Chain A
Amino acid sequence: EPEVTQTPSHQVTQMGQEVILRCVPISNHLYFYWYRQILGQKVEFLVSFYNNEISEKSEIFDDQFSVERPDGSNFTLKIRSTKLEDSAMYFCASRGQYSNQPQHFGDGTRLSIL
């Protein structure tokens, strides 16, 4: 069964540094998402992406965050200048064409900011 894959599984970065989290969505999916889960808290929506542009974003997704689909397969989340509070598990998800189709999630990237 097709899967969403995320790399790396764990990223350790110094505060203030830029970090890029990578995702390969399921190949025929059209909608792409990033969520995050701070330790002990609920999974929170960050951003959705469709047709090469952001379609919805949360208050968390400020100017420090950006997303990109640089080629036909990868979907990336960039944090420009990381803060301690960016430490979390980041999940990528993708979905097919129709709104009643479920989102499929990757295994996540654990981001630790020192």
Chain B
Amino acid sequence: AQSVTQLDSQVPVFEEAPVELRCNYSSSVSVYLFWYVQYPNQGLQLLLKYLSGSTLVKGINGFEAEFNKSQTSFHLRKPSVHISDTAEYFCAVSYQGAQKLVFGQGTRLTINP
């Protein structure tokens, strides 16, 4: 079955600290991988995507993610977070041949001053 797991439902960090949000997906031949961010009372905004090529992808707001095929992971990282990064982050996967996105449960990132 196609599934996406975000291992942490909540991640509290201090401002200017690094953060990693974890995402694992069920194995498949070919996938496209995405991270979306949802700020309070807003919709889902694309942070970054992995389609092919370099396994390290850079997105908006200083975020990056690394695709690891052997681990079936696509963890999201930022070296130094800001208060404005407080939001819910969703990992999503598009499996080959399917149009839909399969989402993880989301990780709520809380930044403490």
Contacts and interface: CB of A to CB of B under 8 A. Distances in A.
A41 B46 CA distance: 20
Interface string A81-114: 0000000000101000001101111111000000
A76 interface: no
Looking at chain A, what size class is its interface with the partner chain? Answer: 20 to 34
B94 interface: yes
A8 to B, nearest CB: 14
B42 interface: yes
Contacts of A27: none
Nearest to B36: A105
A54 to B, nearest CB: 11
A106 B42 CA distance: 8
Interface in B97-113: 98-106
Given A42-B104, A42-B105, A102 B43 contact: no
Interface string B33-52: 01010000111111001011
Main secondary structure of the interface of A (DSSP, over half): strand
Interface in B60-113: 90, 92, 94, 98-106
A55 B99 contact: yes
Contacts of A35: 101, 103
A108 to B, nearest CB: 5
Interface of B: 32, 34, 36, 41-46, 49, 51-52, 90, 92, 94, 98-106
Given A35-B101, A56-B98, A105-B36, 9 more contacts: A42-B90, A42-B105, A44-B103, A48-B99, A58-B100, A91-B43, A99-B94, A99-B99, A107-B41
Interface of A: 4, 6, 31, 33, 35, 41-45, 48, 50, 55-56, 58, 91, 93, 99-100, 102-108
17 contacts: A6-B43, A33-B99, A33-B101, A41-B105, A42-B105, A42-B106, A43-B101, A44-B103, A56-B100, A99-B99, A100-B51, A100-B52, A102-B34, A105-B44, A105-B45, A107-B42, A108-B43
